[in-house]
Structure 1
Amino acid sequence: MPGLKVVALISGGKDSFFSILHCRANGHEVVALANLHPAIQNGERSEDIDSYMYQTIGHSIIPLYEQALGLPLYRQEILGGVVDSNKSYASPATTQQSQQDETESLVPLLRKVMAAHPEVNAVSTGAILSDYQRTRVESVAIRLGLVPLSYLWQYPFLPPYTETSLLDDMAAAGQDARIIKVASGGLDDGFLWENVANYRTKTRLVRAMERFGIIGDGAALGEGGEFETLAIDGPWPLWKNSIQTEDDDRMVVAGEAGAASVKIRTARLVPKEPSSDFSYEQLRKPTTLDDKFTALNSRLDEIVEEISTTSDKAAETTEALDQTSGWTTQTTDTCTIISNAMAEGNSAGEQMTNIMTRLVNDYKVNPSSIAFTTILLRSMSEFGAVNLAYGSQFITPNPPARVTIACGSTLPTDTHVSLSVVILHDDIVAQKQGLHVQSRSYWAPANIGPYSQAIVTPSPTSSLPQLIHIAGQIPLDPPTMEFPAQGDLTPEAHFATQAILALQHLWRIAQIMQASHFLGAVAFIAANSTTSTQSRVSAALQSCKLAHQPPVTEEAEDEEDEHFDVWDQRQFGGNSGTNVTSTCRKDIVNTSVPPCFVAEVESLPRDAPIEWASVAIKAFDGAVETKGKHHSSLSRVCLSC
């Protein structure tokens, strides 16, 4: 797959520059830099404005990055302020709103870059944990037809599961970013102008955050605004020149509530000698699989062997929708479910338009109140037209989670598409929560359509759990958005590896949404395959079963840590270089394996071999126990999910 042509958004901070390294390591070409800076007010340009979206401290150094990296730099003033302060962001409804919200300053900036570099088709950002920043960049990027790249997204929660893994990787790559501002009670001006990735500085940051009980949530990375950084050097060949300042060129400025910052009077560029100490291939990337699913993948032989011994356990049935009564309605305490909605029309796109029109006009459904949808197509070749008609209805953040499958001739005659929807009641729809990640990262696949990875259905009372509707997940490699190559695996083993990867996507989404239990799972498998249906059914069931088993724990060996640091022990009372608080999210382990169903369908999005979907329960104070045996079912189509 050819690499993308990227414009990198930079603030001067450590993350935006480290993201550039990951863009290069993933085969993309960064062709330009872009930056937003404070506007002149009352004849002066403020050094540090109060912006939720942009870092501006140290902005006077930004022009030097053009020569430091040898890349053209484009800049734009920040106009407006915070109009939409919601965590998730959608494009403003009016021109006046677009002129007032500071997020929209990105639009003319990126258009300026695109005019000068028509080849640009992607934008890079350094978002790590901030939904606020990520969703805003994504909103603008998608509107301009750019692919958003956020390779640092969820970085601390990926292997090796330490909050400082990002700083460790920066140090290993040779990036030098200095702390230019502190704004937390745990940090004082003694941290200023220290290299944030330096071992001693990193250790001090961790200890300072631990004292305030906020370690593990990104505080040691400055994700809560605890500190800001300014990159001054990095590895060749990205950095052609380093930025240097003398002690007399910097002064410490005291701020409010204990904050302090560094004001740089002058800085200069120092040419770097070409070096072979670093290559993009050497940059550490988080492993594709978590520890849990790596262990599961290591049992491929067991899963494949199980295929030959469980083929008689799956009950095969074939069901059609020929006699299905459309527009079936059910009502619960929290939602209304409309199943198998169909409409007349000469094409799938026209029928979907008519379905959505009837939902809005006849059933009085506000699209923003829909939490989950299932789309059944006659042919996946019609998906593009259906997606266009469907997606045009969802203009607010966090559209419904969704499953899309093609069912072929099992749909009624002249029916090209059928839609089922879960609609939240008006009294709880304002409490809806969602996860809508459209950036490429190492975490999980970016959205490839107008849907969210997950939507939480609010509960009418605090004594009842909330349901998490998780969108269908196919086995795409998150950073490349491509399917894993077969290599030297057998077709059966290759399918099993893809089933495990897609299942991990489901797991990661459930974990970030704080799920405690899965109520069940559905594995859709495509009919067009070189392996037998029964073998794929067995592989899916076995993968699901093993994933729900508690991890095997080994007793810790009583051995001296080879990385033990005497200096660290004396200074801080522990070896914080290796004993940093784990950021591994709590696993989801049911008391018993929940029901798992396998449905064979004609085809799946992007010709995927398997797609996992599930509903989970969000963790809450009440006790929830799911009981049930491991079920399997093989059918040609899932009527409603």
Structure 2
Amino acid sequence: MSSSLNVIALISGGKDSLYSILHCQANGHTLTALANLYPTRTTNFDEDINSYMYQTVGHSVIPLYEQALGIPLYRQEITGKTVDSSRDYGTPQAGQEQDETENLVPLLKSVMEAHPEANAVSTGAILSTYQRTRVESIALRLGLTPLSYLWQYPLLPPYTQTSLLHDMTAVGQEAIIIKTASGGLDESFLGFDVAHQRTIGRLSKAMSRFGETSNGAIVGEGGEFETLALDGPTPLWKKRIRIEPGPPGVMEGGQAVLKIQASTLEDKQEDTERTLDALRIPELFDVEFEKLLQVMDGGNDSQSFRSEDATLVDVSSGTFSTSTDTPISEGLPRNSTGDTPTVFTYSNLISDTRPSSSPSSPSRQLTKIFLRLDHVLTQWHVAKAGVNHCTLLLRNMADFTVLNPIYAEYFSDINPPARVTIAVGDTMPEGVDIMLSVVIDKEMKDRAVQRQGLHVQGRSYWAPANIGPYSQAISVRLPATDERGEGQDQHVGEVVYVAGQIPLIPASMEVYQEQGFRGQAILSLQHLGRIGRAKGVRWWTAGVGFIPASANAEEQVRIAQGAWKAIHTPSPSFSSDTDGDEEEEEDIDPWDRLNRNHTSTFNDNTYRSPLPDPTSISNPTNPNTTPIPPCFIAQVHSLPRGVDIEWSASGLTAPSIHFNRNLTHSNLTLTTPTSSRSRFYTLEIREQSDLDALSRLGEDSIKEWTSATLYAGRGFEGTATMNWRGVQWIPCLKVWGENGREVRAVLVGRVDGDNEREGSVM
């Protein structure tokens, strides 16, 4: 377990903010203080201001939590209003009118002054990016670690929408409904314990009648209802709260509010069922990844996960050129720009264009790289905010902690680019400690890229937090073909750049050590899948697993590629368990009994989209088979945090995608979103003729890459026949192709075709 944090708990009185405290304690953290924001005092102190950010209904009860939990409470008045209503939130500009979010700053500062040991803040966000990004922004500005243990809770095992409510029931948390704001709910729900089985049944039926069954409505995440926590398990709850309700108040739009006439504290009775021992911690692995781990761990032979024709080629056999006197990187271009109508790339930036007798420090090199990047972006009229993906190559991973703050200062926007960071050791050019490559999707007159980030910076059970200068993923819309019909832009889809994923336990951010390399390969692959699902990915253009230098690299290649193949192969054995049982007869609402024939059935199972999505993928070259995204393994010097694997991939969200494997060159693949001009290639380079294949594709021969990455092994020799514009290169110790064969290099690239010439190259 990670070191204990001292937590300031943001509470609104609602079920989620109080329940998240239990998870903070379960993860070994100490509750230091409670913090709350309340509305300006009016003649009616129970007035709800309908804040987008804060729950304020029932705020008159909040002072009782200090004694109920035995924890000091700090409060601050809400003086701002909703100024920035965007989904993602960042530091406000100077002179901007104060947003209500900024009221958190003086509140948390007052707590930190009274409790200097405080170093974390918890929030009850479940699905609301709006709330999560605002708390994270404030917390990180103040040096506090955000904790969001309920984030994506319905998408975690057991994958049910009501799992949160049932888990609250198990620990004895009582939270009554005090406001309804959904067409499916009325004042008859007021005062009922939301975690009671009968209330859960009523909510399920009500939500299904109005089609609100898959967007967090059942837990009130969309504002359908709000709650007030009155009791919970020991030792957190020292006393319980009792309220004296008045008549319900019906407001505009059909909203109903429970008026609270009085509230008091009362002693708790001994109740062995209301303890923290009953708190359920979501399983670390999704069902299909847990099954995969068991299968691969049960039989140490991973041969079953490999293609029958897979063989390992010994680099010392003479097949490849292996001379290390001249590193492969010496023959490849640096500081190379690529500019197409849709994408701008700047590849393998270094700080100095000529060797120096006294090379500068790594931090000085990175500073000069950013100065060079700024100059080039200005020269090419490209905005820094449009950088969507970065590859950061280091000579020594030990420099990472020094370089990261410099990187963070440069990429300080709300959604910084996705990033892959690896150390390549002495395969780096002599005198160079850092290289940086960037990819920018360009805005055009007739094409808005609609850049959108996924930047979760709070610890949770979902996926590792990005408490740093990179996003989990950045998505941008692909360029469409001119043949698209009116209103078909949504069918073009997006390309999703995903940051490199390493095997960190999301709740603690510690490296996963169990199950050896298998465990790390599968957990980091799960992170990639969860992020892909969150961004709507239906297909990976390619997956690349980086592994560090080791004596058993071949075995790690087998395991990593076996895991990739198994998790992307449609098979009932790797599907998640579902339970479609309906509610018990006694939980059926009387209204439903009368109108049973007209009532929709509530499906409690949370939908998790398949990845890859077989309904979106076609394989024209072999229509009788279901394709698997290509997977390659690249061995480098070392990886962040000393882990054994880092997965890198880009995904596509288009509803219709063709995947072709070239009939003449089986080591060449093409992925094409059907309504886009973009084509995505992978090519295993075993010998010189493989590169020549790219120029023998007829009228679709590749003359210039929109963007591409070359993973070059020591046996690779640069060639003047290849157009390097738009290509970044990563020097590797070894590279393995799809079937476990060692190859000289792998090329993964994108070409945005001309409007006049579309079609398949296969």
Q: How does the TM-score come out when normalised to structure 1?
A: 0.91
Partner of 1:76: 76
Residue equivalent to 2:420: 403
- The answer for the alignment partner of 1:425 in structure 2 is 442
- 1:307 and 1:535 in contact (8 A); partners too: no
2:542 counterpart of 1:544: no
Question: In the alignment, which residue of structure 2 is the partner of 1:60?
Answer: 60
The counterpart of 1:254, out of the listed 243, 246, 250, is 250
**Cross-structure match for 2:460:** 441
Q: 2:635 aligns with which of 600, 606, 612?
A: 600
User: Are positions 1:356 and 2:373 aligned together?
Assistant: no
1:92 — aligned with what? 92
**Could you report, residue by residue, the CA deviation over 1:525-552 in whole angstroms, capped at 9, with x for unpaired residues?**
111x4x5111111111111111111131
- Closer, same or farther: CA 82–569 of 1 in aligned 2, 3 Å: closer
2:511 counterpart residue number: 483
Question: Does the C-alpha gap of structure 1 residues 348 and 207 become closer, same or farther in structure 2, counting only changes over 3 Å?
Answer: same
Q: Deviations over 1:410-429 (max 9, x none)?
A: 11111110001001213356
1:477 aligned partner, one-letter code: I
> 2:9: which partner in 1?
8
Partner of 1:331: 339
Aligned partner letter, 1:498: Q
Q: Hey, what does 2:166 align to over in structure 1?
A: 168
Distance 2:477 2:396 in 1: 34
Q: Give runs of aligned pairs for residues 217-366 of structure 1, distance below 5 A.
A: 217-246=215-244, 249-301=245-297, 304-306=300-302, 312-313=311-312, 316=315, 320-344=328-352, 346-364=360-378, 365-366=382-383
User: 2 CA distance for matches of 1:635 and 1:292?
Assistant: 33
- Residue 586 of structure 2, aligned match among 552, 567, 570: 567
- Give how far 1:128 is off: 0.2
Contact 1:442 1:478 in 2 (8 A): yes
Greater Rg by CA = 2
Displacement, 1:241?
0.6
Contact 1:164 1:580 in 2 (8 A): no
Partners of 1:511 and 1:588 within 8 A in 2: yes
How far apart, CA to CA, are the structure 2 residues paired with 1:362 and 1:123? 40
Q: Summarize the Cα distance change of 1:281–1:33 in structure 2 as closer, same or farther, 3 Å threshold.
A: same
1:39 paired residue number: 40
Q: Distance in 1 between matches of 2:585 and 2:368?
A: 71
Aligned partners of 1:602, 1:105: CA distance in 2, in Å?
47
Q: CA RMSD in A?
A: 2.8
> What is the CA–CA distance in structure 1 between the aligned matches of 2:510 and 2:416, rounded to whole Å?
24
Residue pair 1:594, 1:627 contacting (<8 A) in 2 also: no
Query: Do the aligned residues in 2 keep the contact of 1:33 with 1:73 (CA within 8 Å)?
Result: yes
Report the alpha carbon displacement of residue 619 of structure 1 after superposing the two structures with TM. 3.5
Q: Note if contact 2:233-2:276 (Cα within 8 Å) is conserved in structure 1.
A: no
Q: How has the CA–CA distance of structure 1 residues 83 and 564 changed in structure 2, closer, same or farther, with 3 Å as cutoff?
A: closer
Equivalent residue pairs, number: 623
Q: TM-score with structure 2 length normalisation?
A: 0.77
Measured in 1, the distance between the counterparts of 2:31 and 2:645 equals 34
1:580 alignment partner AA: N
Change (3 A) 1:163 1:312: same
- In structure 2, the residue matched to 1:124 is 122
Instruction: After TM superposition, give the deviation of residue 564 of structure 1 in Å.
Output: 7.0
Residues 191-233 of structure 1 deviation map (CA, whole Å, 9 limit, x = unaligned): 0011011111111111111111120110111111111101011
Q: Which one is further off, 461-470 or 236-245?
A: 461-470
Give the share of equivalent positions with the same residue, in percent. 48
Equivalent residue number for residue 195 of structure 1: 193
1:535 to 555, 562, 570: 555
Contact 1:31 1:120 in 2 (8 A): yes
Q: Is the 8 A contact 2:179 2:258 kept in 1?
A: yes
Gaps in structure 1 of 5+ consecutive residues: none
**1:470 paired residue among 469, 479, 498:** 498
Structure-2 change in CA distance of 1:540 and 1:333 (3 Å): farther
Counterpart in the other structure of 2:717: none
- Residues 492-511 of structure 1 aligned to structure 2 (within 5 Å): 494-511=516-533
Deviation at 1:323? 2.6
Give 1:370's aligned residue: 387
Change (3 A) 1:564 1:439: closer
Cα distance between partner residues in 1 of 2:453 and 2:576:
39
**Take 1:254 and 1:106, find their aligned partners in 2: how far apart are those partners?**
30
Per the TM alignment, residue 25 of structure 1 is displaced from its structure 2 partner at its CA by 0.9
Shift of 1:321: 1.7
2: distance between equivalents of 1:51 and 1:309? 53
Read off the aligned partner of 1:62 and give its amino acid letter: I
Preserved CA contact (<8 Å) 1:522 1:597: yes
Contact 2:458 2:467 in 1 (8 A): no
2:99 to 98, 101, 104: 101
Q: Tell me, yes or no, if the aligned pair for 1:74 and 1:109 is still in contact at 8 Å.
A: yes
SS at match of 2:259: strand
Give the unaligned 5+ runs of structure 2: 353-358, 481-488, 615-625, 668-682, 685-710, 715-728, 732-746, 749-762
Deviation at 1:330? 2.4
Q: Deviations over 1:602-638 (max 9, x none)?
A: 1111111100010110133x44435477998894783
Bigger shift: 400-409 or 249-258? 249-258
Q: Is the 8 A contact 1:594 1:626 kept in 2?
A: no
Matched to 1:297, the amino acid is: L
CA contact (8 A) 1:236 1:274 kept: no
Give, in whole Å, the separation in 2 of the partners of 1:302 and 1:261. Answer: 56
CA contact (8 A) 1:252 1:263 kept: yes
Q: Which residue of 2 aligns with 1:182?
A: 180
The 1-side partners of 2:274 and 2:510 are apart by 27
Which whole-Å CA distance do the structure 2 matches of 1:322 and 1:160 have between them? 52
**Match in the other structure for 2:659:** 625
